[in-house]
């Protein structure tokens, strides 16, 4: 079963195959939004997402976030001031999609391929759900866009084809080999030498802390050419230079194989979520979703960077850290949140742990001290 067929079966929607999640997000933003519209989004997400929004000609309106899960706190949003919402579903914890009724909602479900709300999978609540095959499935590339109508599917396929670049068998083989090697290194507890090798070979992009270098002067210059994907390609392609390249039979076969593994891994992932949810440092939102096979379990700890280093020494890579928030990282290119301190606190203290490697991480994370109280002593647990 192809990736798009598998996700059509899960969502009951029309699906479009993509070389990457990020291309799908751009297509959805351009298809359902008009340049100049105001898009509500979380300040805690991957670098390239912000650049995709700018490439689509939209105004990024940065939302206040919840201390419970790092997602948009809809109760503090003035919905009448925005035209559309881009959800994040950070680490697999679901956004409050029920509070977004009446708006154009585009769901980024890269972290939430297996999350559901009352039995209904994420990616089916908005006008579009954009899945990643490189997160839960660990395929290294690939994405799927799920939409309601066949007419939208056909239009998006046409728009996709206009942006696609030629692929190459050599590149697909290298991607499959790299992904396979990464999984093997983790299983054999060889992540440390694998991470060193990746740095030596230049597979990791240079970063400014946890973010790709912004280069604001260059960004201002190219924004005059937006909307349009090529104008911001130098930023969007970070860490995945072939995000627009067609994938051939080898890559698609590997993506299908990795996606088919998810049901087999579900019990182990759920067990890891349950074990990590017992820790006093676990984010409060996890306690509402221990029945979900989360992509990562966010802990909120005092010395996060030291914990990242300690986990790396134990062969547990962290990744998926989005610090600082967008309105500090790119404050002149966004409309800032009315509450920047909560996002700063979350970005500074969150430690996402892969539940599939919970037992390997426990000797480190069990001894971590909780983060200091969030700004204003906001509650870290929901009221019973």
Q: 172-211: per-residue pLDDT in tens?
A: 777 777 777 776 766 666 656 655 555 554 556 778 789 9
Using DSSP's 3-state secondary structure scheme, residue 17 falls into: strand
Q: Among 198-207, 264-273, 274-283, whose mean pLDDT is lowest?
A: 198-207
pLDDT confidence bin for 383, thresholds 50/70/90: very low
d(CA 34, CA 79): 18
Element (H, E) at 84: strand 84-87
For 269, residues 6+ apart whose C-beta sits below 8 A from its C-beta are: 114, 293, 294, 355, 356
DSSP summary character for residue 165: B
pLDDT at 203: 54
Going 240 to 242 to 245 to 247, the CA torsion angle's sign is negative
Kindly report each contact of residues 232-237 with a partner whose C-beta sits within 8 Å and lies 24 or more positions away, as own/partner: 232/51, 232/52, 232/54, 232/55, 235/47, 235/48, 235/51, 236/22, 236/26, 236/48, 236/51, 236/52, 236/55, 237/48
For 73, residues 6+ apart whose C-beta sits below 8 A from its C-beta are: 63, 64, 65, 66, 96
Residue given tokens 């260059």 in the structure block? 218
Output the CA angle 223-229-234, nearest 5 degrees. Answer: 75
Going 242 to 207 to 196 to 192, the CA torsion angle's sign is negative
What φ, ψ does residue 335 adopt, rounded to 5°? -95, 115
Q: Are the CB atoms for 301 and 281 separated by under 8 Å? A: yes
Q: Which of 42, 107, 129, 74 is nearest to 350 (CA)?
A: 42
Burial (CB < 10 A; 0-12, 13-18, 19+), residue 99, is middle
**pLDDT at 150 exceeding the cut of 50:** yes
Using DSSP's 3-state secondary structure scheme, residue 324 falls into: coil
Q: How far apart are the first and last CA of the chain?
A: 43
Bridge partners of 93, per DSSP, are none
For 155, residues 6+ apart whose C-beta sits below 8 A from its C-beta are: 31
Integer CA distances (angstroms), 379 to 66, 70, 191, 304, 375, in order? 10, 13, 36, 20, 10
Q: What is the CATH number assigned to the segment(s) 263-377?
A: 3.90.1150.10
For 209, residues 6+ apart whose C-beta sits below 8 A from its C-beta are: 323, 324
Q: 34-92: per-residue pLDDT in tens?
A: 999 999 999 999 999 999 999 999 999 999 999 999 999 999 998 999 999 999 999 99
Q: Among 11-20, 39-48, 131-140, whose mean pLDDT is lowest?
A: 131-140
Whether pTM > 0.85 for this model: the answer is yes
Burial (CB < 10 A; 0-12, 13-18, 19+), residue 270, is middle
Integer CA distances (angstroms), 154 to 29, 95, 145, 159, 380, in order? 16, 28, 12, 9, 45
DSSP summary character for residue 355: G
d(CA 308, CA 316): 9
Mean pLDDT across 241-256 = 92
Using DSSP's 3-state secondary structure scheme, residue 158 falls into: helix
Mean pLDDT across 1-6 = 94
Integer CA distances (angstroms), 193 to 187, 197, 227, 317, 359, in order? 13, 6, 42, 11, 20
- In the sheet where 38-41 sits, what is the strand order? 14-18, 143-147, 128-132, 104-108, 84-87, 38-41, 59-62
Mean pLDDT across 289-293 = 97
Residues of the chain with pLDDT > 90, as a percent, come to: 78
pLDDT at 380: 63
d(CA 277, CA 169): 43
Q: Where are the domains of the chain?
A: 263-377
Integer CA distances (angstroms), 146 to 11, 297, 342, in order? 8, 25, 32
Q: Are the CB atoms for 235 and 55 separated by under 8 Å? A: no
Residues of the chain with pLDDT > 70, as a percent, come to: 92
Mean pLDDT across 107-124 = 97
């Amino acid at each position: 079963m192809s990736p798009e067929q598998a996700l059509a079966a899960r969502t009951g929607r029309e699906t479009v195959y993509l070389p990457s999640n990020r291309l799908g997000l751009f297509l959805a933003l351009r298809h359902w939004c008009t340049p100049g519209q105001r898009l509500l989004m979380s300040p805690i997400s991957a670098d390239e997402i912000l650049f995709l929004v700018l490439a689509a000609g939209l105004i990024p309106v940065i939302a206040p976030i919840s201390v419970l899960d790092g997602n948009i706190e809809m109760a503090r949003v003035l919905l009448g001031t925005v035209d559309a919402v881009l959800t994040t579903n950070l680490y697999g914890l679901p956004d409050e999609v029920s509070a977004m009724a009446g708006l154009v909602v585009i769901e980024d479900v890269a972290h939430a391929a297996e999350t559901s709300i009352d039995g209904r999978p994420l990616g089916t609540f908005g006008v579009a759900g954009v899945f990643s095959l490189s997160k839960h499935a660990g395929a290294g590339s690939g994405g799927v866009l799920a939409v309601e109508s066949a007419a939208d599917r056909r239009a998006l396929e046409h728009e996709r084809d206009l942006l696609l670049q030629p692929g190459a068998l050599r590149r697909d083989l290298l991607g499959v080999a790299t992904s396979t090697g990464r999984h093997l290194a983790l299983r054999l507890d060889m992540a440390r030498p694998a991470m060193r090798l990746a740095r030596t070979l230049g597979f990791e992009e240079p970063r400014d802390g946890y973010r790709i270098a912004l280069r604001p002067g260059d960004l201002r210059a190219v924004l005059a050419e937006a909307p349009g994907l090529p104008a911001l390609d130098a930023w969007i392609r970070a860490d995945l230079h072939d995000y627009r390249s067609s994938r051939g039979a080898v890559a698609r076969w590997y993506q299908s194989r990795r996606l088919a593994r998810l049901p087999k891994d579900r019990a182990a992932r759920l067990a890891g979520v349950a074990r990590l949810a017992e820790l006093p440092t676990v984010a409060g939102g996890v306690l509402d979703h221990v029945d979900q096979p989360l992509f990562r379990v966010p802990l909120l700890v005092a010395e996060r960077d030291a914990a990242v280093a300690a986990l790396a020494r134990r062969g547990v890579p962290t990744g998926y850290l989005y610090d600082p928030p967008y309105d500090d990282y790119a404050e002149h290119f966004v409309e800032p949140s009315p509450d920047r301190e909560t996002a700063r606190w979350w970005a500074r203290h969150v430690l996402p742990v892969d539940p599939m490697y919970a037992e390997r991480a426990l000797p480190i994370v069990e001894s971590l001290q909780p983060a200091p109280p969030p700004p204003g002593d906001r509650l870290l647990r929901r009221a019973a």
